[in-house]
Structure 1
Amino acid sequence: MATTPLGRPVLGRALCAMITPFSPTGALDLEGAQRLAVHLVTEGCDGLVLSGTTGESPTTTDQEKADLIRAVRAAVGPDVPLVAGVGTADTRHTTELSRAAEKAGATGLLVAPPYYSRPPQESLEAHFREIADATALPVLLYDIPARTGVRITPTTILRLSDHPRIIGVKDCAYDLLGTQKVLSRTDLAYYAGCDEQILALYAVGATGYISTAANVIPTQLRAILTEFDAGNTGTATHHQHAALDLIDLLMATPLPGTVTTKTLLTTLDLPAGPVRPPLQPADETATRRLREAYERLVGRA
């Protein structure tokens, strides 16, 4: 595994928050997951995040989560980073999922704060430390208060940065000042978790992204990083701007990103399948708008 200048492991730069394919009857489609994973890696993803929000983790069983990791690991080989989403509302359950993910072949863990109970910051810190102590895997904190109801404050992240296995953050907090405070004081690997912020966060020192839109436009999003690294900031900006209409439809409409992403993948003849309730499929109008935005992007890329 690659390391940062200070020796901490990293999990790649361009990561896809992969959907979990299901069969028409709603069963886990492991063969489809393998085909999609290979496609995404071939098209520019360094690694994959499995069983995150986009992967419908609230409606998959613990066994399905472990089976998914094993199947994707078998398909992509030993060197592709696989980060397992293991966040739950229960520290004990999260620890159990973390150990199961390690056994199944995960490379790292993505851990959101416990939702609904809204623990105070000192309880959050204890929660994350217990999970990081439970396995040998590197841990990414998932700061997404809009979904969990609780922030991981920059002060808490700074304290947690002293743990040898807490190596980064998936940032969906929409707090550019707070993000930069942590980036300037630690060697944590920050990943843009909101696709419209990929270039902005990368320009101030983020490592890369964990992207939902990468399920459908992996090459176009990877180009943002590639062009910026080459000093072609104008071209990087072009790629970011070109993707905004599709990102808006995927992530900012009333439909959840899982629904829109699976809808578009289906029109592209890539493995997806239905969503599990309580999510419901997109209607024909939403499907048409998504495909039209995709075609416009592909045509101008």
Structure 2
Amino acid sequence: MKLSGVLFFPVTPFGPDGTVDQEALATHISLGVNSGAGAVFAACGTGEFHALAPAEIGVCAQVAVTAAAGRVPVVVAAGGPLPLVREQTRRIRESGADGVLLLPPYLVQSPQQGLVRYVREAVEAAGLPVIVYQRGNAVLTPETALTLAQIPGVVGIKDGVGDLELMHRTVRAVRGERDGFQFFNGLPTAEMTMHAYRGLGVSLYSSAVFAFAPEIAIAFHRAFTSGDEATARLLLDEFYAPLVELRGHQPGYAVSLVKAGVRIRGLETGGVRAPLLDPAPEDLERLEKLLDHGL
């Protein structure tokens, strides 16, 4: 599973009855693929993985596979306690998805050897290529990252920590031993830090903005990858930096602002599930104005 282009992390729409709105999700994913997504990461952080039951993850996986129709890879999240991971990955595998994004175990602080054991058992359960999500309580040393990269089935690491010195050592350690291993920037609003990550040899990133403004996300990606620094800087200054400032108004806005943005663009998604909150009215107004300006 080789990734390229803009990595699309769709939201998970909920209907009036609170269940996953499969039709809206299919429309959302189809629009994203048609707009130029390089891959679909369903039921992940932007898709409120933390609030989904295993059966709902399976539903999201099946909808994503059907909507993508083989045009781009589909990756679906799993994580938490290993018994849940086994249930989640069984459903993901049965959906026909191409891979799994493995989130950290909940709450507990574990030794590095414990993280290796966790990943190894999750990979065995998944039976699919696995990308390990480094964040929260799963921060890898370069030595542990190399050990994980040597596990058959582990194909990449998504970094959600942002420790550039650590990532530099990690990338150097792994790429010196395993060709083709993939790293990507998974920080919120990753476009803001991609110039720094490119200096580490990391060119892939997740784009939450693509979920509600694919035109802006594609324009930035095109400028960033082609060396058009004037356009890249313009978009960073005029759109992305103000978005990050707005994102800081409330914990969880990295998800709920994105979902609100999808609604602003005309697709009804419902609100976010607890413990997140939908944006305040004044923040929705700012988001709408910023989106108009960015477009």
1:57 and 2:45 aligned: no
Correspondences of 1:66-215 after superposition (within 5 Å): 66-88=58-80, 90-145=81-136, 149-185=137-173, 186=175, 187-194=180-187, 195=190, 196-215=192-211
Q: Which residue of 2 aligns with 1:275?
A: 272
Please name the residue that 1:229 is paired with: 225
Corresponding residue to 2:25 among 28, 33, 39:
33
Aligned to 1:288: 285
Deviations 1:103-141 (A, max 9, x none): 112111111221211211110011101112233321111
Structure 1 vs Structure 2 CA RMSD: 2.0
The TM-score normalised by the length of structure 2 is 0.89
> Which amino acid is the alignment partner of residue 235 of structure 1?
T
Query: Which residue pairs with 1:254 in the alignment?
Result: 250
Q: Deviations over 1:164-189 (max 9, x none)?
A: 32111111111111212222232421
- The separation in 1 between residues aligned to 2:161 and 2:66, in whole angstroms, is 34
Alpha-carbon shift at residue 66 of structure 1 (Å): 0.7
Q: What is the match of residue 5 of structure 2? A: 13
Q: Which residue of 1 aligns with 2:212?
A: 216
Provide the residue aligned with 2:240 in structure 1: 244
C-alpha separation between the residues in 2 aligned to 1:51 and 1:259?
Answer: 14
Aligned residues: 286
Query: Shift in Å at residue 264 of structure 1?
Result: 2.0
> What is the DSSP-based 3-state SS (H/G/I as helix, E as strand, rest coil) of the residue aligned with 1:46?
strand
Distance apart, 1:83 and its partner CA: 0.9
Contact 2:100 2:126 in 1 (8 A): no
- Runs of 5+ consecutive residues of structure 2 not aligned to the other structure: none
| Distance 1:51-1:284 versus aligned 2 partners, 3 A rule | same
Deviation of 1:246 after TM superposition, in Å, equals: 4.6
Instruction: Kindly provide the amino acid, as one letter, of the partner of residue 24 in structure 1.
Output: P
**Structure 1 residue 225: deviation in Å?**
3.1
**Structure 1 residue ranges, 4+ long, deviating more than 6 angstroms after superposition:** none
Q: Distance in 2 between matches of 1:173 and 1:47?
A: 22
